[in-house]
């Protein structure tokens, strides 16, 4: 199966809650194009395994965490889950604002639901425990407004379908450091956190046509504060490119403008 990354058409970050999580408003879209992972799941191995070019330990892999969450929710299938071999051809880069790990976990959950006739509601319950972007992927929407801490996902029907061109520089953006910079800029009054509810009602093309990259993504300025070279990348790419998530990927719609 092909697994496409997500892009944030806009990303509105609000001040952190007491437990440190930042509520958000965002438009997520599946980035149909030339960049995708490929996954195959085989049955009948002696011990659960994940095969692919991953840099993290097995226990930190979101596919593994998805499997563990499924075992808790559906104990009767524990033996089946442990008999799986998950092979992933990784193309979506890490630390790039594309949700590659969450996309893999979401695809795994959805495939398990198809094989075992599990409900979508059960996946929606499990997904937030694995990662903040996983809820978007288990809903299998092409475009959605995402709120809360990523667990509220409402489908947004676009007027047209688009493909995207993505450029990812060789810069690994650490999400925690970017959010820390956001908090520091907010505390110092260098940026403001204003809820952009009106953005939820605009189509993705309207958003990209009417607003600048800095207006659309509240983490763009903090990311450039942490990773100074991002500003040079922005300048080299020129007009029409936007910043996804906490970075480091830039994107544009094919054929727009």
Q: Which pLDDT does position 94 carry in this prediction? A: 87
Q: Which pLDDT does position 256 carry in this prediction? A: 60
Q: Which pLDDT does position 60 carry in this prediction? A: 95
3-state secondary structure of 86: strand
Which of the residues 67, 133, 196, 218 is marked catalytic?
133
Is 196 an active-site residue?
A: no
Q: Which pLDDT does position 123 carry in this prediction? A: 96
Question: Model's pTM, two decimal places?
Answer: 0.94
Is 6 an active-site residue?
A: yes
Please list the ranges in the chain whose pLDDT falls under 70.
255-257
Which of the residues 6, 65, 67, 196 is marked catalytic?
6
Host H or E run for residue 152: strand 152-155
3-state secondary structure of 154: strand
Q: Which pLDDT does position 176 carry in this prediction? A: 93
pLDDT 10s digits, 60-78: 999 999 999 999 999 999 9
Q: Which pLDDT does position 254 carry in this prediction? A: 81
pLDDT 10s digits, 184-239: 999 999 998 899 999 999 999 999 999 999 999 999 999 999 999 999 999 999 99
User: Residue 53 and residue 174: Cα distance in Å, rounded?
Assistant: 19
Contact 86, 63 (CB under 8 A): yes
The residue behind tokens 């199966």 is: 1
């Amino acid at each position: 199966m092909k697994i496409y990354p997500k892009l944030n058409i806009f990303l509105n970050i609000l001040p952190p809650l007491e437990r440190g999580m930042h509520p958000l408003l965002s438009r997520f879209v599946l980035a149909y194009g030339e960049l995708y992972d490929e996954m195959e799941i085989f049955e009948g191995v002696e011990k659960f395994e994940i095969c692919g070019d991953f840099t993290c330990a097995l226990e930190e892999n979101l596919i593994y965490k998805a499997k563990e969450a499924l075992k808790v929710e559906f104990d009767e299938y524990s033996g089946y889950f442990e008999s799986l071999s998950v092979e992933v051809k990784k193309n979506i880069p890490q630390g790039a604002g594309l949700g590659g790990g969450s996309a893999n976990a979401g695809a795994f959950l959805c495939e398990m639901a198809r094989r075992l006739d599990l409900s979508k509601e059960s996946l929606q319950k499990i997904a937030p425990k694995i990662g903040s972007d996983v809820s978007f992927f288990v809903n299998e929407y092409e475009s959605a407004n995402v709120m809360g801490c990523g667990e509220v996902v409402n489908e947004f029907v676009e007027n047209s379908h688009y493909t995207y061109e993505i450029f990812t520089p060789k810069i690994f953006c650490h999400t925690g450091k970017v959010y820390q910079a956001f908090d520091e800029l907010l505390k110092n009054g260098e940026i403001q956190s204003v809820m952009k509810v009106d953005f939820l009602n605009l189509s993705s093309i309207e958003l990209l046509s009417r607003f600048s990259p800095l207006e659309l993504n509240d983490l763009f300025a903090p990311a450039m504060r942490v990773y100074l070279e991002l500003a040079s990348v922005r300048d080299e790419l020129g007009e029409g490119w936007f910043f996804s998530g906490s970075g480091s990927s830039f994107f544009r719609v094919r054929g727009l403008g």
